[in-house]
Amino acid sequence: MEELLSLLDRYAPGYRGRVQGVYGWRLDEIEDRFGRPCPGFYRAFALAMGAEGGPLLEGLHEYHPSKIADLYALAPWMPPRRFLYVFGDASPDGQHYFLDLDAPSEAEDCHVVRFPFGEQTWTTRLTRRFVSLREMLFVLAMTNVHLPIFPHRAEYLSTGGPAGAPPRAEDVAVILERLGFTRLPYPRRCLLFERHDAGILLYRRPDDPGFSLRVGFLDPAKLRGFEAVIEDAAGLSRWRGAAV
């Protein structure tokens, strides 16, 4: 968590003073009602910012451990105990976030999946979103804290590369580094890049070779120049629904 908090402090000075964790007994309460131990990284997250996560967790709700414990105590329709509810989704479709305890990853962490509440939705509507909760939080640091400071933003989707070959995320990373971007050492499936005048998120799902780029620039002319390079060299296409 210290690595994440240091990144947030760099993106928004004083950020760690805006978050609030919970006492360990709150997590013990979840475990009693859930019936299984919480993954180690989830415990670290909750102890650091489980009560208030600030802009990092914008758009997520009902993540306080006391609310999660209440769900497991009062809601008979919760999914099998393979899935630990971690974040709620307030959208009409209600694609909530769960840790898949049967899909462990690095350092006491698990894949993050999404599906709505309902009968057997974990078998019919589950999508894998991140290889770990830790990776999800680093992606949110770029998406919700860093990119919003740049007034000119766009999103690009992988379609077809040069000579019809599908673009590869690793090849795009090389192009970005040639353009002066520094790749952060973490995360490793999704990738984060920084430059003094811009920020980039390369997002990949755990089980999908495709990817997308979200970019933000201070200068609109530099964004246009970036777009010309990235569309020509990497075969990426701009999603016209993205904010500019």
Vertex 34 angle, CA 41 and 1, to 5°: 15
* Mean pLDDT calculated for residue range 67-92: 92
Quote the CA–CA distance of 207 and 144 in Å, as a whole number: 24
Q: What percent of the chain has pLDDT over 90?
A: 83
Structure-token match 């475990």, residue found: 31
Average per-residue pLDDT for the chain: 93
What confidence tens digit (pLDDT) does each residue in 230-244 have? Answer: 988 777 888 876 444
Residue 42 pLDDT level (bands cut at 50, 70, 90): very high
pTM: 0.94
Q: Which whole number is the average pLDDT over 187-198?
A: 97
Cα separation of 175 and 180, whole Å? 9
Q: Which residues contact 20 (CB under 8 A, 6 or more apart)?
A: 49, 51, 52
CB proximity list for 67: less than 8 A, separation 6 or greater: none
